[in-house]
Structure 1
Amino acid sequence: MQVLSLELNELNFHYIKNFVDRGALPNFARLFADNRVRETDAGEIYPELEPWIQWPTVYTGKTYAEHQLFRLGDIVYNDQPQIWDYLEQRGVKVGAISPMNASNRCADAAFFLPDPWTHTKLVADPKVAKLYALLGSLVNDNATADASIAKLASRILPLALPHMTSASIVEYFKILPVALKYKWARAAFLDRLLADVFVSLWKRHKPGFASLFLNAGAHIQHHHTYDSKAYDGERANPGWYSKAAETGADPLLFIYRVYDAIVGEMLALKDTHVFITTGLSQVPNKREHYQYRIVDFPGFFAKVGLEGATIRPRMSRDFLLEFASVEAAKAALPVLDRVRVGDAPLFAVDERGETLFCQVGYFGPPEGLEAVTIDGQPGDHSQAFALVSIENAIHQPTGYFVDALGPRAEPAPLPLADVFDRMCAAALADRHEVRAA
């Protein structure tokens, strides 16, 4: 029996229950009816309450205080043992698609496709690798991509088609009309395709343990919780930002339905032990909070006068600058400081030896970017930034965990770090059963 770890990043099961009660999500309803859903507790507070911190907790079985992985991509500078190499060393064949902040240290993984922001070894056949590289570029360009769905499909479809099934093609046609109307719905295509690729590779290789990380739900919740019937607060998105509420669309129900189909497909796979984990979940944001991303990194930093840096975009407003030496990194600090909004630096910078981890630190409305100055020279640089989101929801330490073959869920929250032991025990126990047979 193979163990599958389905990682639905930050998914709000307390909202899902709302739609389950309305009869909208049959596969999630099955999990709730069987009492398979248990709360987890990340045990962290801000600023440690981030998915790129909590997923390494799941992957290593260690809290943040123990693993000290604070930024997305940090794992490549750290030798923490993770669940895939831990199980591989014990004779279990492993695979992974898009695990957040995870490094491929396996000697012979069946497949390993890292998240789009962590630079580590990719293991896949050439066509899958090409498809994944294309998907990664789309993820990193998401805030500014205006390409039509038809254009994207023409590039992706020939590589993706071998992994699709008749059932999943039906799901794509459910996503398509919503994605044509609303940009926020496009992320569902990516997660639907990652699920297809995962199942296809899993059927081909049959690893003893394999994980699939999906992020569209977290993305849509962050951006559009205010637009959902599940939200009962007083805040609303401005019409220029979102047309969902006025047109009757419910972004949360939309992505939950996409995931409901994926959950059903995973549970239907033969000889599998399925675990579902969310890491964290979200609660509505009570304050106005905008997030921005640089549109053209090389072009913008050429204007700033930054030299000698390799720029590595991360999620949302974050990016990493890599230099040839510590001295070169330190020399870049006053250059970055000269980019300001009013009296405040535009960038928050974390010194890390030869690298600088940077974030766009302005959170006000878009017109404020018209007053950005570079080296004291005013100018309208608003077009250099894309609005990533009006942050509708923020992280909370409560997450959710489902053991589809385990006992009925206990009422007490499960420490998030304990998920590692439970999945490892299942993978190793199942292997021992095979050996005995």
Structure 2
Amino acid sequence: MNKKLIVIMFNELDFKLLEKYCSILPGKFKNFEALFRLPTRQTGNHYVKNNEIEPWIVWPSFFNGKSYKKHKIFRLNEFFLSKYKNISEILESQNIKVGSIGAMNIPNRLVNPDYFISDMWITTKPDKNHLIHSIQKALTQGVKNNESLKLSLSSIFYILVGLLISLRVRNIFTFMSLGIQSIKDRYIRALWLDYYINNLHYYLFNKNKTNFSTVFFNAGAHIQHHKYNNSIIYKKYRDTNSKDYFLKILKVYDKILGDYIHNKSFEFIVLNGLMQKQESKGVHYYRLNDPDIFFDLLGIDSSEIHLRMSKDMTLHFDSTRKVKVALSALRSVKINNENVFGDFAVFKNKIYLSITFNKEIKNKNKVKINNLNLEALSLFNLIAIKNGSHISSGTAYFSQRFSLLLPKRKIIITEFFNLIIKFFKM
């Protein structure tokens, strides 16, 4: 098998906004300028409800070719709900060499991948290679502790090993520059991680002579959610005292693109899966200050509390009776007569839920818990005011040869499955 294809996933990245930067700064980001000249299609999703326009729902649709209504994967780590095989599994069964780094909410069910580093927020079978597995564990700890930057000595060691085996001389300065900035800036830390992931992917892809590989970058989505209104393009809402991170995104991602779009030894797809739109007022995201104390006050007898990405959590119980009691209690929690919790799902004595209250909690706001009226701000911690929210449309760019397979219309995200399978049959 001589055919090679790389899928480069810039999660939720606003390509239209970046194109405006390139137009006002011509010649500065040459790889993006080259990307914007390639064959392109708008992409769409099957979703109609806002709470279904999430990357952990959209990307499984890309990989397994099924809409949410069929694959049923609603949250991170719920991939076990889907019975469908993903693209990599299908191709591997056809003796095509596959690899993957970071694909969101995609488990490792492969028999013998060239390499597999999972999404840092899910639990799945580790790569058979001890070094790759150890790098995965180290990166996962780093992502989950991005705020505090707490890493074990073992994690530091394996991250450095991954850096050294994949380091190219021309990338040393960028790593050093991003590393220094990362000490005090969590958004630059996210960009450093994406740059690290790319170098590791580029090394593993070439070393193993992989035929089909996917690589996932999330810093752009993370930064957009928090810093959309800092863009110089959005002057109406711009905070002139804040940094415009889009120039940072462009600088790092332009270097990443340079590894792929001028290389004629493989075909590629570059896409965002879904996009964000600007929210001028901002959407508030909260977490519980102390989940154990909060659920004790509610009278919820949970055997385990598992906090997940952002505002999501899972409560474990040892009986269906306790699940019913807990659901009733959770649905009673309100601030200003609005429900605090929502997006409930029950599976095997587990309650999956989210903090869906997304408005500003003020000093005078109360939470009624049983017979108590408590200060809301003493129980809930503001983790972010997001000024970028999800929309279901996206954009994809294609290498010239792969573009011959494309329809002349918008591509639904589930259609990529068959397009990729068809490419390897050509």
TM band (smaller chain): 0.7 to 0.9
For 1:392, what is the secondary structure of its paired residue?
strand
Aligned partner letter, 1:113: I
- Among residues 95, 107, 114, which one is paired with 1:91 in the alignment? 95
> Are the equivalent residues in 1 in contact too, given 2:300–2:326 (CA < 8 A)?
yes
Report the RMSD for the aligned CA atoms in angstroms: 3.0
Q: How does 1:10-409 map to 2 (within 5 A)?
A: 10-21=12-23, 22-23=25-26, 24-33=28-37, 35-45=38-48, 46-142=50-146, 145-147=147-149, 154=156, 157-162=159-164, 163-232=166-235, 234-236=236-238, 245-246=240-241, 249-267=243-261, 271-294=265-288, 297-298=291-292, 301=295, 304-337=298-331, 339-354=333-348, 355-367=350-362, 371-380=366-375, 382=377, 385-406=380-401, 407=403
Partner of 2:411: 414
Partner of 1:432: none
> Are the equivalent residues in 1 in contact too, given 2:22–2:32 (CA < 8 A)?
yes
- State the alpha-carbon separation in 2 of the partners of residues 94 and 42 from structure 1: 26
For 1:130, what is the secondary structure of its paired residue?
helix
- The number of residues matched between the two structures is 417
Taking a change above 3 Å as real, the CA distance of residues 312 and 272 of structure 1, as seen in their structure-2 partners, is farther
Taking a change above 3 Å as real, the CA distance of residues 149 and 315 of structure 1, as seen in their structure-2 partners, is closer
> Are the equivalent residues in 1 in contact too, given 2:135–2:159 (CA < 8 A)?
no
Taking a change above 3 Å as real, the CA distance of residues 205 and 372 of structure 1, as seen in their structure-2 partners, is farther
> Are the equivalent residues in 1 in contact too, given 2:137–2:155 (CA < 8 A)?
no
For 2:192, what is the secondary structure of its paired residue?
helix
List per-residue Cα deviations over 1:281-313 (Å, max 9, x = no partner).
Answer: 111114432112345545654565543443333
> Are the equivalent residues in 2 in contact too, given 1:117–1:313 (CA < 8 A)?
no
- State the alpha-carbon separation in 2 of the partners of residues 214 and 170 from structure 1: 21
Aligned partner letter, 1:362: F
- Please say which of residues 4-13 and 394-403 is displaced more in the overlay: 394-403
List per-residue Cα deviations over 1:140-177 (Å, max 9, x = no partner).
Answer: 344xx233899999566433322332233322233235
Aligned partner letter, 2:30: P
> Are the equivalent residues in 2 in contact too, given 1:326–1:353 (CA < 8 A)?
no
Aligned partner letter, 1:128: I
- State the alpha-carbon separation in 2 of the partners of residues 83 and 159 from structure 1: 30
Aligned partner letter, 2:396: F
Taking a change above 3 Å as real, the CA distance of residues 94 and 137 of structure 1, as seen in their structure-2 partners, is same
- Cα offset, 1:415, TM superposition: 1.9
- Give TM-score, length-normalised by structure 2: 0.87
Taking a change above 3 Å as real, the CA distance of residues 401 and 271 of structure 1, as seen in their structure-2 partners, is same
- State the alpha-carbon separation in 2 of the partners of residues 44 and 15 from structure 1: 24
Taking a change above 3 Å as real, the CA distance of residues 188 and 295 of structure 1, as seen in their structure-2 partners, is farther
- State the alpha-carbon separation in 1 of the partners of residues 273 and 97 from structure 2: 24
- Cα offset, 1:19, TM superposition: 1.6
Aligned partner letter, 1:332: A
Identity fraction in percent: 25
- Give TM-score, length-normalised by structure 1: 0.85
- State the alpha-carbon separation in 1 of the partners of residues 39 and 193 from structure 2: 27
